[in-house]
């Protein structure tokens, strides 16, 4: 097979995958299985087997559980759980791809970054977001970008930074959420749903809470909150889906107000055999702590 044939086969594979993962195809499969229960039973058995075997990143989900603990108990024995392990501390790489859902975040960072801004990047992994955004933002000399994550991820990130002799003077890593104290911007992009604790549990103990909360890729639903499981490849992790009103009200109770919100149509959560729990698009929002923040956001918009 020559290079042209390989490219054509790859292209057709992408098309086939897009069709199979489309809402229309999923709706058709649900209709068939509702009319033929044995087909659903076979499909569920095959899917569960595949879900347990997958060892590469595929963004697969399984099951609906009432709590984080219940989801953890459902993970098969012997499976690695979550990000706090050597194998899950490096598999996502060094730099994230820019998606459509990143542009509202970039917009607000452009407006909010000042000469001595401190950004606390919650669940920022190896500094992926920092490196992805750097070409699109002008970082002043006084900027500090602090990445927080679990111990294994932070240890691996620091090791890579030391070995590479990193020139990323703005970037440092921490395993202590107290470093969010007095931050100007608390950034959480696609990380809050992996946490057993709620966002307020991290913000409330701070002496000086961050002025802004810049949140992206949030799985919010109008229905009751629940937890599913995500197979990330090298590990399986509980994955929280938040009730939109409860999530927003909890943050408002800390003294924040919503300054802006947007949809992330490029990020979704489809759980096979649970179509009523599909989150078709995730959400982003900017929240400000003070009246001045609200006034500033209105002027920018």
> Whole-angstrom distance between the N-terminal and C-terminal Cα of the chain?
53
Domains and CATH numbers, the chain: 3-58 (no CATH), 100-300 (3.40.50.150)
Per-residue confidence in pLDDT tens, the chain, 301 aa: 555 555 554 555 556 555 555 667 667 767 776 776 776 666 666 776 767 776 666 788 999 999 999 999 999 888 888 888 887 777 766 666 888 999 999 999 999 999 999 999 999 998 999 999 999 999 999 999 999 999 999 998 898 888 877 678 899 999 999 999 999 999 999 999 999 999 999 999 999 999 999 999 999 999 999 999 999 888 899 999 999 999 999 999 999 999 999 999 999 999 988 889 999 999 999 999 866 544 544 554 4
How far is Cα 265 from Cα 104, in angstroms, rounded to an integer? 12
Alpha helices by DSSP H, the chain: 3-20, 23-35, 37-53, 68-74, 103-112, 128-133, 151-164, 199-203, 244-252, 291-300
* Three-point CA angle 265, 261, 177, nearest 5°: 100
How far is Cα 27 from Cα 41, in angstroms, rounded to an integer? 17
How far is Cα 43 from Cα 25, in angstroms, rounded to an integer? 15
Question: What would the DSSP string read from start to end of 261-280?
Answer: EEEETT--B--TT-GGG-B-
* Cβ contact 157:88 at 8 Å: no
């Amino acid at each position: 097979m020559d290079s042209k044939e390989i490219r054509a086969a790859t292209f057709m594979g992408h098309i086939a995958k897009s069709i199979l993962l489309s809402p229309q195809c999923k709706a058709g499969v649900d209709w068939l299985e509702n009319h033929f229960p044995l087909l659903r039973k076979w499909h569920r058995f095959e899917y569960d087997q595949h879900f347990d075997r997958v060892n590469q990143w595929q963004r697969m989900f399984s099951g609906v559980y009432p709590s984080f603990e219940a989801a953890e108990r459902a993970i098969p024995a012997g499976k690695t759980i979550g990000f706090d392990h050597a194998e899950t501390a490096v598999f996502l790489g060094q730099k994230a791809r820019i998606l459509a859902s990143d542009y509202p975040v970039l917009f607000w960072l452009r407006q909010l970054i000042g000469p001595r801004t401190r950004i606390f990047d919650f669940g920022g992994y190896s500094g992926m977001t920092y490196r992805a955004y750097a070409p699109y933002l002008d970082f002043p000399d006084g900027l500090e970008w602090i990445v927080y994550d679990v111990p294994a991820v932070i240890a691996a990130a620091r090791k890579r930074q030391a070995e590479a002799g990193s020139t990323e003077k703005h970037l440092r890593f921490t395993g202590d959420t107290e470093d969010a104290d007095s931050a100007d911007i608390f950034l959480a992009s696609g990380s809050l749903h992996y946490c057993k604790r709620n966002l307020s549990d991290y913000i409330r103990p701070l002496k000086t809470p961050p002025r802004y909360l810049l949140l992206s890729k949030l799985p919010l639903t109008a229905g009751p909150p629940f937890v599913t499981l995500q197979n990330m490849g090298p590990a399986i992790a509980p994955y929280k889906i938040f009730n939109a009103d409860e999530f927003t009200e909890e943050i408002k109770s800390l003294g924040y107000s919503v300054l802006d919100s947007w949809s992330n149509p490029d990020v979704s959560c489809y759980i096979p055999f649970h179509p009523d729990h599909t989150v078709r698009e995730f959400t982003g929002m900017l929240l400000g702590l003070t009246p001045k923040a609200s006034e500033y956001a209105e002027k920018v918009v």
